[in-house]
């Protein structure tokens, strides 16, 4: 059969459906050559159930390993915050005693399971805002005039900024403990100097 009409040929060329890349005759998808050679079937994108379960298991193991380390770090952090707050309160109480020309007492107590610090002058007037330590700080005690630790406890400063009371001619110590059993302490010399140490008793 011969086609002599040029218009008919052009019409057949334009209306003919082109073969797309990756398709066979009549537009039917054809497998990739590599997949055919390896004997593999085409697969849709996404994750299988086994892959998801493996990822969840790895994540769970990582979290279980990280939580104890975080709790230890947080407990130590709160203890350090507590002892630096106590040091700051003692130093400001000493300055308040000199500025007011009267004795200032820094009282340490355990109230409803929380360590509290209150600074009062000889008339029981508060000279500093009360401080409450964070939850991981669970205990506080102070050396008394006999040199033994007791709760509640008090450290006093006179109008000259000298420590008033406590063990005679010795450093008076306040120590705080966290829920991991770690102990930090702050020491006040008879002259009123204050410092803290990351140990149970400042030497």
Q: Which residues of 28-53 are buried (b: 16+ CB within 10 A; e: fewer)?
A: eeeeeeeeeeeeeeeeeeeeeeeeee
Higher pLDDT among residues 40 and 128, named by residue:
128
26 lies in a domain? no
On the CB side of 142, CA atoms within 13 Å amount to 25
pLDDT digits (tens, 9 = 90+) for 45-89: 678 888 888 888 888 888 777 777 888 999 999 999 999 999 999
The CATH number assigned to the domain holding 172 equals 3.55.40.10
Any domain includes 122 = yes
pLDDT tens string 125-162: 999 999 999 999 999 999 999 999 999 999 999 999 99
Is the per-residue pLDDT at 2 higher than 50? no
Look up the domain containing 133 and give its range. 75-197
Contacts of 164 (CB under 8 A, 6+ apart): 103, 156, 157, 158
Is 17 within a domain?
no
């Amino acid at each position: 059969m011969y086609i002599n009409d040029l218009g008919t040929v052009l019409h057949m060329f334009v209306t003919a459906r082109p073969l797309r890349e990756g398709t066979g005759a009549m537009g039917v998808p054809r497998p990739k050559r590599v997949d055919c050679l390896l004997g593999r079937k085409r697969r849709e994108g996404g994750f299988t159930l086994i892959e998801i379960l493996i990822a969840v298991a790895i994540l769970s193991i990582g979290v279980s390993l990280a939580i104890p380390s975080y709790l230890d770090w947080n407990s130590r952090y709160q203890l350090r915050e507590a002892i630096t707050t106590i040091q700051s309160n003692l130093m400001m109480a000493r300055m308040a005693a000199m500025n007011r020309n009267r004795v200032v007492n820094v009282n340490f107590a355990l109230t409803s399971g929380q360590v509290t610090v209150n600074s009062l002058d000889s008339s029981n007037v508060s000279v500093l805002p009360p401080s409450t330590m964070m939850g991981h700080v669970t205990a506080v005690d102070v050396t008394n005039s006999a040199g033994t630790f007791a709760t509640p406890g008090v450290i006093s400063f006179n109008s000259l900024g000298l420590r008033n009371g406590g063990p005679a001619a010795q450093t008076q110590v306040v120590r705080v403990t966290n829920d991991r059993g770690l102990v930090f302490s702050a020491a006040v010399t008879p002259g009123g100097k204050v410092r803290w140490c990351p140990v149970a008793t400042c030497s």
